[in-house]
Structure 1
Amino acid sequence: MSLFNKVFASIGIGSATVDTKLEKDVFVPGEEVRGIVQIKGGKIDQHIDDIYLNLHTNYIKESDDKKHIVKGDIERFRLIQAITIGANETKEIPFVIRVPFDTPISIGRTKVWVETGLDIKNAVDPSDKDYINVVPNQLMKGVLDTVAELGFRLREADCEELPYRKRRRLPFAQEFEFVAVSGSFRGKLDELEVIFFPQSDEQMDLALQIDRKARGLGGFLAEALEMDETNISLSIHSKDLPILKSKLESLIRQYS
Structure 2
Amino acid sequence: MKKVLASVGIGNATVDTVLASSTVEPGQSVDVEIHIEGGSAEQTVDAIELEVETRCATDDGYTEVDVGRLRLSDGFTIEPGRSDVRTATIDIPYATPVTLGRVEVWVETELDISMAVDPEDRDHLDVQPTPRMRAVFDAMDELGFSFRSAECQIDRSGRYASGRAFVQEFEFHAADGPFRGRVDEVELVFDPAADALTVFVEVDRRAGVLSELADTDERTTSIRVDSTDVAAIRDRLEATIDGFA
Superposition TM-score tier, normalisation by shorter sequence: over 0.9
| Cα deviation, residue 235, structure 1 | 1.3
| Cα deviation, residue 95, structure 1 | 0.7
Match of 1:89 among 79, 82, 95: 82
Aligned to 1:198: 192
Q: For 2:110 and 2:56, how far apart are their aligned partners in 1?
A: 21
Correspondence list, 1:15-94, <5 A: 15-62=12-59, 67-94=60-87
Match of 2:243 among 226, 229, 254: 254
- 1:186 matched to 2:175: no
Q: For 2:72 and 2:179, how far apart are their aligned partners in 1?
A: 50
The answer (yes or no) to whether the contact 2:190–2:197 under 8 Å persists in 1 is yes
- 1:112 matched to 2:109: no
Match of 1:168 among 153, 162, 168: 162
Q: For 1:51 and 1:42, how far apart are their aligned partners in 2?
A: 17
Secondary structure in structure 2 of the residue aligned to 1:36: strand
Q: For 1:47 and 1:23, how far apart are their aligned partners in 2?
A: 27
Secondary structure in structure 2 of the residue aligned to 1:197: strand
Which segments of structure 1 move beyond 6 Å, counting only runs of 4 or more?
none
- 1:132 matched to 2:117: no
Match of 1:99 among 79, 89, 92: 92
| Cα deviation, residue 80, structure 1 | 3.1
For each residue in 1:174-206, what CA deviation from the matched residue of structure 2 results, as whole angstroms up to 9, or x when unmatched? 100111010110011111000000011x41111
Moved more, 231-240 or 191-200: 231-240
Q: For 1:165 and 1:118, how far apart are their aligned partners in 2?
A: 32
**Count of aligned residue pairs for this structure pair:** 244
Q: For 2:141 and 2:200, how far apart are their aligned partners in 1?
A: 17
Query: Which residue identity lines up with residue 158 of structure 1 in the other structure?
Result: E
Q: For 1:56 and 1:239, how far apart are their aligned partners in 2?
A: 28
Q: For 2:102 and 2:228, how far apart are their aligned partners in 1?
A: 31
Q: For 2:53 and 2:158, how far apart are their aligned partners in 1?
A: 23
| Cα deviation, residue 82, structure 1 | 1.7
Identity %, equivalent residues: 38
Secondary structure in structure 2 of the residue aligned to 1:77: strand
Q: For 2:156 and 2:242, how far apart are their aligned partners in 1?
A: 27
Match of 2:209 among 220, 230, 233: 220
The answer (yes or no) to whether the contact 2:190–2:199 under 8 Å persists in 1 is yes
Q: TM-score, normalized by length of structure 1?
A: 0.92
- 1:150 matched to 2:143: yes
